[in-house]
Amino acid sequence: MSSLSRTLEPEVMDTPEEARDYDAMDHSAVNRLFVADFLAVHPDTSLVLDVGTGTAQIPIELCRADPSARIVAVDAATHMLTLARANIERAGFTSRIEPRLVDAKRLPLDADTFTSVMSNSIVHHIPEPLSALAEMLRVLRPGGVLFVRDLLRPDHEAHLEALVRQYAGEASEHGQRMFCESLHAALTLAEVREIVVSLGHDPAGVTQTSDRHWTWACRQR
């Protein structure tokens, strides 16, 4: 059990500085791994929802890896989406990725719409993550794949500081602070599994998938 209590960070990162620093950090290896692991579950990518897309780095990576992928990419941060639109256009995927300004806790989308739903690093931003995860399941078609990955709260302060040094040591001071705050705001495996059980799903679907990430993969009933 983590000895660090969860310390919430701002739910929406929506200043130009936050968006710029986030986009400038090197997420390429993590994003490629996320996409590879997502595709390994064999999802139908004909209509994917990406919840908490940020600057759309993962949808762009998915389009590069899977020529059939079509993605609706949603985020609640205006400045993140401004950079997302620029990144999508630069990558040449404006016909395959549709960015939308949306609150993950109240998706203005019909039930049973998407063939797959993916989300990377949005859960730790949300004070009550159950609401967002329930919404992801609601809009997912029966048989569709839900694939959620997020940060894992370290078990003590020294562990947290070591992760910041290892993975954000070359980032700006603001970037390092953002990563530190995100780790503080993350959930433990036990906390995620408790939410998953409350949603009627098998907690065994939640696993630790790196030294700083958990992943929940399941198929909608």
The residue to which tokens 């401004």 are assigned:
82
* Within a domain: 94: yes
> pTM of the full predicted structure?
0.93
Q: Which residues pair with 50 in a beta bridge?
A: 73, 118
In sequence order, the 6+-apart residues with CB closer than 8 A to the CB of 74 are 49, 50, 51, 52, 53, 99, 100, 101, 102, 104, 107
As a whole number of angstroms, the distance between CA 208 and CA 53 comes to: 22
- pLDDT tens string, the chain, 221 residues long: the values are 567 999 998 777 666 777 677 766 667 888 999 999 999 999 999 999 999 999 999 999 999 999 999 999 999 999 999 999 999 999 999 999 999 999 999 999 999 999 999 999 999 999 999 999 999 999 999 999 999 999 999 999 999 999 999 999 988 898 899 899 999 999 999 999 999 999 999 999 999 999 999 999 999 98
Please report whether residue 7 resides in a domain: no
What is the distance between the alpha carbons of residues 217 and 173, in angstroms, rounded to a whole number? 34
Spatial CA neighbour of 130 closest among 39, 208, 197, 203? 197
Residue 31, SS3 per DSSP: helix
CB 208 within 8 A of CB 214: yes
- The count of domains in the chain is 1
Give the number of other CB atoms < 10 A from CB of residue 197.
12
Q: Is residue 3 part of a domain?
A: no
Q: What is the residue range of 207's domain?
A: 16-219
6-25: b (≥16 Cβ within 10 Å) or e: eeebebebeeeebbbbbbeb
The Cα–Cα gap between 216 and 37 comes to: 11
**CATH number, domain at 33?**
3.40.50.150
4 in a structural domain = no
- Is residue 5 situated within a structural domain? no
Assigned domain for 35 exists? yes
